[in-house]
């Protein structure tokens, strides 16, 4: 987690706790959609999961291959620079996770995505989604990243009903820390990434697979003393306390199949 933004660190602290619990139930395989530089996949792999990472950004896939090379060489992980929707397999996977991905999808693509997930998800499998939340916070980052929307809690209730899932978890993350940093973050993005608004939505989506913006997506080594799981643990406790607050800037959702 060294060099990561505070919001990502808080998300990963919570994700690790959930993955540990899911691992204890016997789940062991995963697919990550939008695997980027491999940070989330690395969390899975360190916990003993085996799986695949999909991303459309070639440079991100290269970084992922480097970061997780030991797991790749041992056959526990594979990185694919391709569209998950077009992936053909007869194998079932226990967890399908996307972090900051489905907010890029229009209605048609979202439908294809969840149908694909249902097709290859194991009987006791889980679909995990982390998404930007609260439409009232729509801003320059959403534009630069090529987002279609920011999610609300009831959006996952609607998705569950539409695709015959059941909600296992549906909570907010990163409040209040990300909210405190929101305006600063937007100023940095406006200064460093406004030129990306000239790109198409698809190009912006691919671009977000490997953003490298100082003091936004990456931080110098000197910040390690304050940007680490230990120093931010108090904010993790706060995000748990305010997990149902509608001002959360991230939603963590788990959907599971309705059993016949």
pLDDT digits (tens, 9 = 90+) for 63-99: 999 999 999 999 999 999 999 999 999 999 999 999 9
The pLDDT confidence band at residue 222, using thresholds 50, 70 and 90, is confident
The SS3 of residue 155 is: helix
72: which residues sit within 8 A by CB, 6+ positions away? 65, 78, 79
Domains of the chain, by residue range, sit at 6-257
pLDDT on residue 246: 97
* Whether pLDDT at 1 is above 50: no
pLDDT on residue 2: 52
pLDDT tens sequence across 96-138? 999 999 999 999 999 999 999 999 999 999 999 999 999 999 9
State pTM to two decimals. 0.96
The pLDDT confidence band at residue 225, using thresholds 50, 70 and 90, is confident
The edge-to-edge listing of strands for the beta sheet with 50-54 is 77-80, 50-54, 29-33, 93-99, 121-132, 250-257, 165-173
CA distance 31 to 44: 10
DSSP line for 186-244: HHHHHHHHGGGGGS-HHHHHHHGGG---BTTTB--GGGGGTSSTTTTHHHHHHHHHTTT
CA distance 58 to 80: 9
Which CATH fold topology does 6-257 show? Answer: Rossmann fold (3.40.50)
Beta strands in the chain (DSSP E): 29-33, 50-54, 77-80, 93-99, 121-132, 165-173, 250-257
The SS3 of residue 145 is: helix
Q: Which helix (H) or strand (E) holds 18?
A: helix 6-24
């Amino acid at each position: 987690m060294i060099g990561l933004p505070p919001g990502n660190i808080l998300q990963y602290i919570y994700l690790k706790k959930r993955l540990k619990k899911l691992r204890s139930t016997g789940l062991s395989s995963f697919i990550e959609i939008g695997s980027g530089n491999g940070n989330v996949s690395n969390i899975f792999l360190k916990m003993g999961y085996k799986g695949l990472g999909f991303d459309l950004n070639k440079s991100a896939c290269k970084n992922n291959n480097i970061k997780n090379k030991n797991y790749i060489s041992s056959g526990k992980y594979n990185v694919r620079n391709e569209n998950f929707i077009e992936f053909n397999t007869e194998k079932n996977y226990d967890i399908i996770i996307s972090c900051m991905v489905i907010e890029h999808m229009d209605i048609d693509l979202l439908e294809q995505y969840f149908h694909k997930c249902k097709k290859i998800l194991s009987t006791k499998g889980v679909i995990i989604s982390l998404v930007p939340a609260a439409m009232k916070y729509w801003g320059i980052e959403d534009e630069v990243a090529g987002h279609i929307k920011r999610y609300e809690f009831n959006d996952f209730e609607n998705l569950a009903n539409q695709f015959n899932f059941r909600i296992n978890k549906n909570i907010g993350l990163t409040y209040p820390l990300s909210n405190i940093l929101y305006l600063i973050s937007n100023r940095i993005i406006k200064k460093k990434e406004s030129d990306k608004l000239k790109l198409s939505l698809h190009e912006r989506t691919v671009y977000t697979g490997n953003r490298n913006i100082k003091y936004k997506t990456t931080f110098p080594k000197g910040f390690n003393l304050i940007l680490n799981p230990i120093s931010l643990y108090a904010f993790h406790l706060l995000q748990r306390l305010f997990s149902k607050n509608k001002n959360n800037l991230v939603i963590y959702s788990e959907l599971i199949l309705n059993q016949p």
